[in-house]
A = this chain, B = another copy of it.
């Protein structure tokens, strides 16, 4: 299972203090955000109250207010963290070795996995609609960076001949849409792992729904690992 539900359910207020470099307040704030993200994803943002977040962590509501000011601040942070995780993972994929195709596939893979996790799923299921215009603007800036990275990888792939000629803007949106949607429907308790879903979706986006001639399939199979079936 990709989500850390079990880890978050064990509230840091009911466990002995963690040892190590990270400071206890930051661990507790992270637990507040994660518990809230899980509730937003399961029940919806509107149907989730701070009382429910407090209850899940076995603390009082005033305790929560030590770490966050409002439900809106929690959502902003959850969506921001989801976008930050994506941006960092895609930048890492783009900075790694290999062809533009390898980098694009690695970036798509990270994107697909992140939307199955607490903050990435919250970004897709709730998003920024409930936030004030200023917060929404900040998040849009982060989104634009992610979109730019995808477009750039697609442009490079077309230039190196590993991708079909296409409009990089539209192709980037098509990929991002298909992969983002995983965050809407993916059920961590379902039969297919996030890893399996990611590989199948990426295979479909790379090769399309139309059948490929046998010769092309064989060439593709010899060039890199097959995306494989997950059942």
Residues of A with Cβ closer than 8 Å to B?
44-47, 125-126, 128-131, 133, 136, 154, 157, 161-164, 166-167, 170-171, 173-182, 184-185, 192, 197, 200-201, 204-213, 215-216, 219-220, 229-231
Taking a contact as CB atoms under 8 Å apart, the answer to whether A133 and B47 are in contact is yes
Q: Is the interface of A mostly helix, strand, loop or mixed?
A: helix
28 A-B pairs whose Cβ atoms sit less than 8 Å apart in the complex? A45-B130, A126-B129, A164-B212, A166-B200, A166-B204, A166-B209, A167-B200, A170-B197, A170-B201, A174-B178, A174-B181, A174-B205, A175-B178, A177-B177, A177-B179, A177-B180, A177-B184, A178-B178, A180-B181, A181-B181, A204-B205, A205-B209, A206-B210, A207-B210, A210-B220, A212-B216, A213-B213, A213-B215
Separation of A177 and B98 alpha carbons in the complex (Å)? 29
* Residues on the B chain within 8 Å of A185, using CB: 173
Separation of A44 and B135 alpha carbons in the complex (Å)? 13
Separation of A175 and B205 alpha carbons in the complex (Å)? 9
A44 to chain B, nearest CB (A): 5
Separation of A29 and B216 alpha carbons in the complex (Å)? 55
Separation of A215 and B213 alpha carbons in the complex (Å)? 9
* Residues on the B chain within 8 Å of A212, using CB: 164, 212, 216
| Chain B residue with the shortest CB-CB distance to A176 | B181
